A and B are shown apart, each in its own frame.
Chain A
Amino acid sequence: MGAVLGLTNRLGALNAALLTFGRRLGAGFVGLMVLIILLQVFFRYLLDSALAWPEEASRFLMMWMTGLMAPTAFRRGGFVSIGILTRLLPRVASAVLALFLLGLSLVVMIMGLRIGWSEVTGLGGRFTTDSLHYPTTFDFSTWAKVPKSWMMLSLVVGLVLLISVCVELMLRNLITLAGRQEQLLMIPEAAIGGAE
């Protein structure tokens, strides 16, 4: 069990580092989304000359924000669920049930990852976005359209992070079953709330 504990805490530290990076990037994306839409409002209503790219660019950022930030919410217990049964059950039974639910979630995520990757590398990913471009030379003289796969990758990256978190949470449940939960690294709780 000592090896499992060590593995759990090491995976926990890795997840914490990755998710901190993801959160920071995601927070930056939220700010950028606001700025881009405000810029569009300025151009459309004050200069009467709407820009072509803000809507797609902000959607691009929103998808990445979701992929990068949702795993933190999952790790902190922020995914909405009816937790009455797990709370009513004794500690061991509750941990077994939680393990089963995490296992089922893991299957869903692995299935999603498999499909997601084939979508990114498949025909759909080869199309390009309508209005987003990136420079192909350092002097910005030539530009190419951003492939859709760059945007589709957001959900795949999100799923990879979610799987990593799910494995960590499953290992944590095993440690809890063994009664050594006090030796686990702390995970902060998510702030309560949703669209409500």
Chain B
Amino acid sequence: MLSLFLPLFLILLLVGLPVFFGLIAAPAILLWLNGQERDIVLLYRNVYNGMDSFPLMAIPFFMLAGEVMNRSNITLRLVEFSQAMMGHLRGGLAHVNVLSSMLFAGLSGSAVADVSALGSMLIPAMEKQGYTRSFAAAITAASSIIGPIIPPSGIMIIYAYVMGESVAALFLAGIVPGILMGGGLMLMIHFLADRYNLPAATRRATWGERGNASLKAIWPLLTPVIIMGGILGGIFTPTEAAAVAVGYATLIGLFVMRTLRLSDLPDVLTRAGMTSAVVLLLVGAAMAFKTVASLSHTPELLASIILGLSDNPLILLFLINLLLFVVGMFLDAGPAIIILGPILGPIFTSLGVDSVHFAIIMAVNLTVGLLTPPMGLVLFVTSSVSGLRVETIARATLPFLAVEIFVIFLITYFPAISLTVPRFFGFVQ
């Protein structure tokens, strides 16, 4: 009876019940029907204890760091730096867009923050230079996907917490896939240059200009160094590193760049707090859901179904990528990880897939789902930033989406892409 909680949950989700309530209602209803009312109390305790976690505090802190950097106009410095480095290439501003996203990813770890910050600046600038607005919006949306892949990353923290993985290992495992994603998008821009008649190269920046732009961008560019250096050097825990990132961003915003005002802080704190509150509730509910999943032996049941399809892990990984892609079309990455991680993770690790490798496959695939209709969060935000219809942007992103799907399969079938860096630092055997 209890194993029915998954189909019931899916039905509730599809009719539109918020994920948080669905995660609790589905198991609670079945526990009640099963006469296990006392176990519903355990469900409540799991939600509470799931939220009451020090490592989880990294989520509000990284969100806050991103908000502070956005408000401080640090993005402008990153764009100027990217412009000095890549602005002279054909399709220069498109390349600048991708490089800025990669750099921004090292600060905020959020695709939505990336689109909001870079899109409002780069889409009008690209249009002014002769790019179509749909192309500018498409490359902004596509490159923002790198945000949650290159560390720090909100969804990696969630995955690590829900699945008991090391945050540092997942952060490190995301570096090469993120760079690969950025490189792939730049290659696609290069190939599309003729077809879309992208603006020809502008003047190459002198080394003096590049040095000047680097100097201006040095403060924000040091953030990922502080975060990762602090975590890997054993100086900070990920939560402390996130708090240090907030403190650092606030200090440079207030006193170095002088672009942040004290009066901005209440709004910044409110935005970060509200978003985090929703994520924390979801994670708490996920912990309760995870307990019921293991009690009901659902992972074992699903494992036998999945293994009945094929015993070849390569084929199964292909199929699971298809499943994740479809799920990503309907659900945001965070909730999808919360729901599917505890169910799929154990199946694939038992098949010999490294748990960090599987985490990256899931995280990257579901993050790309932010770009796919009908429920693509990044598409919605890009639409509101650019003023274009979601369908128009979705169509324009297709060449870039193809690159990202290709990268997903590279990551899937070449584990070294995600495992080499964490292995180098001793997080993976």
Contacts and interface: CB of A to CB of B under 8 A. Distances in A.
Q: Do A and B come from one complex?
A: yes
Interface of A: 23-24, 26-31, 33-34, 37-38, 40-41, 45, 55, 58-59, 62-63, 65-66, 68-70, 72-74, 78-86, 97-98, 101, 104-105, 107-109, 111-112, 115-116, 118-119, 151-152, 155, 190-196
Interface residues of B, number: 78
A97 B16 contact: yes
B276 A63 contact: no
B277 interface: yes
B366 to A, nearest CB: 9
Contacts of A24: 266, 270
A31 B332 contact: no
B54 A27 contact: no
Contacts of A30: 60, 64, 269, 272-273, 276
Interface stretch (B134-142, B198-206, B370-378): B370-378
Nearest to B242: A37
Interface string B299-339: 00000000000000000000000000000001111110000
11 contacts: A27-B266, A34-B243, A38-B243, A65-B277, A78-B275, A112-B47, A191-B271, A192-B112, A194-B154, A195-B148, A196-B155
B335 to A, nearest CB: 5
Contacts of B41: 115, 118-119
Interface in B60-101: 60-61, 63-64
Interface string B1-29: 00000000000111111111100110010
Instruction: In the A-B complex, list the 5 residue pairs whose CB atoms are closest, starting with the nearest.
Output: A195-B154, A37-B243, A79-B18, A27-B269, A69-B277
B375 A119 contact: no
B14 A82 contact: yes
Contacts of A68: 277
B21 A104 contact: yes
Given A26-B277, A82-B375, A111-B40, A34 B110 contact: no
B40 A70 contact: no
A68 B281 CA distance: 12
Given A59-B57, A152-B48, A195-B110, A81 B154 contact: no
Contacts of B157: 195
B260 interface: no
Contact of B281 (A23, A55, A66): A66
A31 B247 CA distance: 10
Contacts, number: 214
Contacts of B40: 111, 115
Contact of B59 (A78, A97, A195): A195
B18 A105 contact: yes
Interface stretch (B233-241, B405-413, B418-426): B233-241
Given A59-B54, A65-B277, A105 B21 contact: yes
A128 to B, nearest CB: 15
Given A27-B273, A115-B41, A41 B282 contact: no
Contact of B148 (A37, A73, A196): A196
Contacts of B112: 192-194, 196
Contact of B273 (A26, A118, A193): A26
Nearest to B13: A82
B244 A41 contact: yes
A72 B273 CA distance: 11
A116 B381 CA distance: 37
A66 B45 CA distance: 16
Contacts of B381: 192-193
B235 A119 contact: no
Contact of B53 (A33, A59, A70, A80): A59
Contacts of B266: 24, 27
Please indicate which of the listed interface residues B48, B273, B275 has the most CB atoms of chain A within 10 Å of its own CB. B273
Given A84-B375, A155-B48, A78 B54 contact: no
Contact of A69 (B48, B273, B333): B273
A181 to B, nearest CB: 19
